[in-house]
Structure 1
Amino acid sequence: MQPARFLSSCRPIFALLFSVLLITGCSQKFQNVSETFRLAVSGEDDSVKSQSWIETLPYASIYARINEGPRAFMVLALAEKAPRTHAENAPEALQLKWLAADRGMLVTEQGRLVKTLNLPQGNLIQVESQEPDPVALGLHLSTTPNHWRRQIDWQPGYHFGYPVISRFEDKGLQSITINDVTRYARYFIEHVEVPALNQTFDNAFWIHPESGVVLMSRQKLAPGLPDIEIQLLKPYGNE
């Protein structure tokens, strides 16, 4: 399997589904599972779905791409309350779990990647912080801090509890095109430093100028791991 490939030929993934349900419990909303997975496995490399088809689809959806690899269409499989691994004063958030036919999973909280599973080059295991994530607070608000400290765990290797320092830079309005629809977004660069490894990298967020919803992002999972680009096609609920 190519490292950048999310969706390949259809493979059995219901064992993964059942294991996820056992791990996360039975509280999450989970409707029409068979249809959700049928949609997830029907995607093709660099597939393009019409905007009208996406709007009529009763599922949240995204495009996702690892590094410069093929783009995958993904639908939301699970939405559940985020665990308390964050600051007590952080806004309540849902973890959105996006599954692919090759057993890959992306987990996001308000546009931030907080966990991945079964990606070929390695995975982000957990993000913890005593401070609310500025992305969750709303980067467009003048009251939102432009610095953030957190700890991250990732694999391969035994990388646990590495301190990470972020600084956000507002680059102003920028025109972006998602699925042939052009709009304006506030463009922010997150300058990230991992002091213990003497490494730095940048993340990018394009947010709705009024709501702060992350419309598009490019986020590096951890040092030595790939970037993941996410384009929001249809948001979940009131996101």
Structure 2
Amino acid sequence: MNHQISILLILALLSLTSCSGTYRAYQQTLKLAFKDTPNVVLSIDEIKQSKVDLALIKRGSRPTSTLALAYLEDRQHKWVSADNVMLIMEKGRIVRTLGLDENLLFLSNTAQDPLKNTPLSMTELSIWSRISDWSGDEYGYVIESKFSFKTEERLEELSLKIDTIKYVEDAKFTAPSRFIQINNTWQNTFWFEKNTGTLIKSIQTLAPSTEPIELVYLSRIARLQTKNAK
């Protein structure tokens, strides 16, 4: 199915539960994702003018593309992309995916995710266990992870230098699974703006055999820039 048609179908479904003004905002914003360039590049002015939140996504070695925040529901952020992917997230954690080759269908025990704590006061060595279900009738895989260390790091995004606190999460399957290839461990990384604790970037790998997903939250960075300029 053509990617643009797929996104329009998603938006049509969203329009059933959204006002017409919001639906038009999604249409206008997602046009940015159809730019005919190897990697989508947005100016800070374009981001500030957007009526919905924007983020950049890079999956594996694919070109960078745009995500738009479709809606908030049950404390979940639901993002859609031009290549017909939806990421469902809780406090920055990807808890479900649609449109990938291997989709995460369910993640248990999300209330205990250390990311649900105030990020800048999150204790090191926080341990979290959960059960993951996957497409292809793969159910009940137990994942255990710990946030092993945090460091300060300066990022440059949108030509802005941002001081952050970086957390590294070491994750592993605790029992054999079809995802094991070379090993059963992987890492996720999260960057929080130092003063506000706002998550501005993450790199998440859902399982050892899946591609890393890099997310940069453009609208959040633009709002921080506006706040700091005052």
Task: List per-residue Cα deviations over 1:143-169 (Å, max 9, x = no partner).
Answer: 5761111111122x3221211111102
9-18 or 194-203, which deviates more: 9-18
**Deviation digits for residues 131-184 of structure 1, max 9, x if unmatched?**
5211121332055761111111122x3221211111102231001122222111
Q: Which residue of 2 aligns with 1:147?
A: 127
Give the 3 Å change call, closer, same or farther, for CA 77–169 of structure 1 in structure 2.
same
Correspondence for 2:180: none
Aligned twin of 1:42: 32
* Aligned amino acid, residue 45 of structure 2: S
CA distance, structure 2, for counterparts of residue 167 and residue 127 of structure 1: 16
- Equivalent AA in structure 1 for residue 150 of structure 2: K
How high is the TM-score relative to the length of structure 1? 0.78
Identity of aligned residues (%): 26
Root mean square deviation, CA, Å: 2.8
Q: In terms of mean alpha carbon deviation, does 110-119 or 135-144 score higher? A: 135-144
CA distance in 1, matches of 2:64, 2:83: 14
Which of 216, 219, 227 does residue 234 from structure 1 map onto?
219
CA distance in 2, matches of 1:10, 1:52: 24
| CA distances 1:76-126 after superposition (whole Å, capped 9, x unpaired) | 111111xxxxxxxxxxxx21111123321111111111111012x211111
Distance 1:168 1:182 in 2: 25
In the other structure, the counterpart of 2:199 is 214
Deviation at 1:29, TM superposition (A): 7.7
Aligned residues, how many?
Answer: 214
Task: Find the partner of 1:16 among 1, 10, 17.
Answer: 10
Retained in 2: the 8 A contact 1:138–1:144? Answer: no
Counterpart position of 2:84: 103
> 1:18 Cα deviation (Å)?
4.5
Q: Return the structure number with greater helix share.
A: 2
Asked if structure 2 preserves the Cα contact closer than 8 Å seen for 1:166 and 1:193, the reply is yes
1:29–1:79 contact (8 Å) kept in structure 2:
no
Would you say the 8 A contact 1:74–1:98 is kept in 2?
yes
Deviation at 1:233, TM superposition (A): 0.8
Structure 2 residue aligned with 1:225: 210
Q: Contact 1:205–1:218 at 8 Å: present in 2 too?
A: yes
Question: Residue in 1 aligned with 2:187?
Answer: 202
> Structure 1 unaligned runs (5+)?
2-7, 82-93
Structure 2 runs not aligned, ≥5 long: 177-182, 224-230
Structure-2-length-normalised TM-score: 0.81
d(CA) in 2 for partners of 1:218 and 1:34? 30
Query: 2-side partners of 1:102 and 1:40: how far apart?
Result: 11
Q: 1:62 aligned to 2:55? A: yes
Secondary structure of 1:174's counterpart equals strand
Higher RCO, 1 vs 2 (CA within 8 Å, ≥6 residues apart): 1
CA distance in 1, matches of 2:19, 2:192: 27
- Corresponding position of 1:90: none
Alpha carbons of 1:20 and 1:58: their partners in 2 closer, same or farther (altered >3 Å)?
Answer: closer
Verify: 1:115 aligned to 2:96, yes or no: yes
Letter in 1 for 2:204: Q
Q: Report the CA distance shift for 1:165/1:36 in structure 2 as closer, same or farther (over 3 A).
A: same
